[in-house]
Chains A and B, each alone.
Chain A
Amino acid sequence: MPEGRGHIRLKSLTNLRDVLSVATEFERTARDFYRDLVPKVTKNIRYLVEELAAEEQQHLDLFSGLAQRADVEAVLQTEIERPVDDQKFFDFVHLPDLGERPDDQAVLQYALAREHAAMVQYAALAEATPPGPLRDTFRFLANEETKHKNELEAIYDRIVHSGGV
């Protein structure tokens, strides 16, 4: 999710379906980013980029599916009652320059940075929004990004810290 522009764009919205629509677009951008990255990485780490693209597709499907539900507000309310803890592990995993031929660690660090930025952005928007369906939407999105970030942290830990075996 692009910083600054995304935040301003989301902040100006007042309808939760519009928010979900923008969030879906962000996931589509991320999915396309990883799909474009697939041919640029060596085969032994290609599975990672493909899985990242698939994860973004799942998010895209989730958000676009939610936007079409009549009971979307009730669904969001249920989800945000189970907030996910941010493990902050990423805070000591730093954003790399991907370069022409990124390795698995660089790809994961980049993915973590994207999820972290999205999580922070949605959480900030939730904080700045008065109670109501819109705020619930932002909290839901922050929760989803946190879940995704935690999954990526577990993958990073396995691959980078234990040799992947």
Chain B
Amino acid sequence: MRDVLSPFLAWKNLFREPVSIADPLNREAAPRYRGFHKNDVSRCIGCGTCETICQNGAIDMVPVDGFAPKDGDSGLRPRIDYGRCCWCALCVDVCTTGSLTMSNAYTWVDADPDAFRFIPGVDAKSWDDTEDGYRRAEGHHLTLRDRVPMPELEPEVRVGGFDEIVAGYDVARAWLEADRCVSCGLCIAACPTHMSIPQYIAAVRDGDYERGVRLLYETNPFSNTCGRVCTHVCETACALRNEGDPIAIRWLKRHIMDQVPQDRVRAIIGAPAPATGRKIAVVGAGPAGLTAAFDLAKAGHDVTVFDAGEKPGGMLRYGIPEYRLPYDMLDRDIDAITSLGVEIRSDCRVGRDVAMADLHAGHDAVVLAIGLHVGRSLRMPGSEHPQVRKAVDLLRSIGEGKSFDVPRTAVVIGGGNVAMDIARSLARLQKQTHGEVRVTVTTRKEPGHIVADPEEVRECGEEGVVIAYARGPQRLVIDEDGRLAGLLTWRIVPKVDDKGRAATICDDADAVVHPADMVVEATGQAADVDLLGEALTEELEWNRDRLAVDADGRTSLPWLWAVGDCINGPDVVHAVADGHRTAAAIECAFAETAIERTRPDARR
């Protein structure tokens, strides 16, 4: 009988108060005890490395109100599940910013089991302000913080010629550098063309270079080029930059291309799709135009590129000196594009040799990728002197192998990368011709605010080029025999105007003449839109001084598209991204037209 009744006797416990003691020990933990997590969410960049390393799947990266994604920050924050966590602290040890730590709190009583999944730093907890606990020891990192050094020519060697400065990683160095990557993927969002960066870095680690090439060509047909001259915004977003050097993403891209012979690259790219019968004209053989040509040819369209230069490449060939981008490397990128059947008609200027109207008549779409090839002049008194040159014209002459009288003393006006390019090119020519470097760059900016890349500025100085900061050009100095003698500048006083913009105020009491027998203007560039002709210029819509285009690069005329530097400013990887976007939009436009044509009521 007792055995029959005892299950029912257990029911009396249902109405009894719980006897669990919430904190039975009330004992403080050791100072470095690995307790509950804390996260400084303002330092956290949502890289997810903690999630990746967790052996128990206890961490999920989740969106949090108030944290929007931006370059270098995914906007996600780690949520910890204490039903899974074993408090091993690998997440703390691997944290790329040091934001994730542990308190030494170890007791937490809650009747709600879901409470034990929480977002440290977002969900307020009693231990958030504790000083004790576990944090990564100073100097203790699970990945190497310093970038593997890149072999480069020494300044005294490189200034003697135009040999490529950067040697490239060998396989061992590349593997070490690739092994630093934590594969967080923050770089993908930052890259204008969204290359699969962690994946191709993994390919380097695995020694599978053909897989790497395949990955590169999904998003960038200029990987030899970008692997040398890209502005690498990806590296600015790299998680490792927070406590060390970012991964050398640009050099690893170059390394992959260096390992694979050109015939294998062509084979990996493969053959184009079956011919569609559509014809596209591209005006300009720079990175934007050729990227669009690559995508459209791969899709089976008949693409012809018209370019005014003797050889294709645009500013890549005629603007970037060979010590940064060897012509044979650029030629490899272009060869891969022409291997798809893209026809490039060089030395063919649209507007002179062929009219825009003819391109329109003979093609289903026309893409303008005309770049920014016209150098601006300050038009100072004396600017018409034959020894006053524009940087883009001089760089083009050097790129075409045309000789000119190398000046013994030169002044370059400007503080951008083009100014650095021409200054360093002239330095090399001076070294070869006269045995010494006498080049001065004058810029309106103060040190630290110059527009050129910091490494360009540093290398410029190493090669003997002098940079005169905060100088405003006033006029050319010409002697009584009509020879150019120099450039007069005034000191620039930095100021912010009433709208918060940097203003240029000149102090005419501080005047300096910089001696020169050649002055080079590297102060700005413009697009040459004369090829459009007056009628087309009037017909098109303009956004101030640029062609008005939609988000896909289409102008106000449905058959005409415009991409690259002439729309969005000078940058190689952005030009590549533009080319992809516009090619995709043209494909969509063709598909819509095809659908229109197949509609029963469509006019033919």
Contacts and interface: CB of A to CB of B under 8 A. Distances in A.
A96 interface: yes
Interface string A90-119: 011110100000001100010000000000
Contacts of A5: none
A42 B537 contact: yes
A163 B537 contact: no
A23 B344 CA distance: 59
Interface of B is mostly: mixed
A162 B566 CA distance: 12
B575 to A, nearest CB: 12
Interface stretch (B153-161, B264-272, B371-379): B371-379
A137 B473 CA distance: 34
A153 interface: yes
B542 A44 contact: yes
Interface in B511-547: 523-526, 529, 534, 537-538, 540, 542, 544-547
Interface residues of B, number: 40
A83 B319 CA distance: 45
Contacts of B569: 163, 165
B472 interface: yes
A163 B504 CA distance: 18
A104 B490 CA distance: 25
B495 interface: yes
Contacts, number: 95
Interface residues of A, number: 31
A85 B505 contact: yes
Contacts of B534: 42
B506 interface: yes
A75 interface: no
Contact of B380 (A85, A94, A165): A94
A92 B475 contact: yes
A91 B474 contact: yes
Contact of B506 (A88, A96, A109, A150): A88
Contact of B545 (A91, A153, A159): A159
A43 to B, nearest CB: 5
B568 interface: yes
A154 interface: yes
B319 to A, nearest CB: 13
B524 A44 contact: no
Contacts of B566: 165
Given A157-B504, A161-B376, A161-B524, 4 more contacts: A42-B534, A44-B529, A47-B542, A159-B545
Contact of A163 (B378, B490, B501, B525): B525
Contact of A104 (B501, B504, B525, B545): B545
Nearest to A161: B524
Interface in A138-154: 150, 153-154
A47 B473 CA distance: 28
A3 to B, nearest CB: 19
> Which of A48, A160, A164 is the most central at the interface, judged by chain B CB atoms within 10 Å of its CB?
A164
B206 interface: no
Contacts of A105: 376, 379
Nearest to B524: A161
Contacts of A154: 497, 501, 503
Nearest to B529: A44
Given A85-B495, A94-B381, A153-B504, A43 B537 contact: yes
Given A44-B537, A85-B505, A94-B380, A161 B542 contact: no
10 contacts: A43-B542, A44-B542, A88-B508, A89-B472, A89-B503, A89-B505, A91-B490, A92-B490, A109-B379, A165-B567
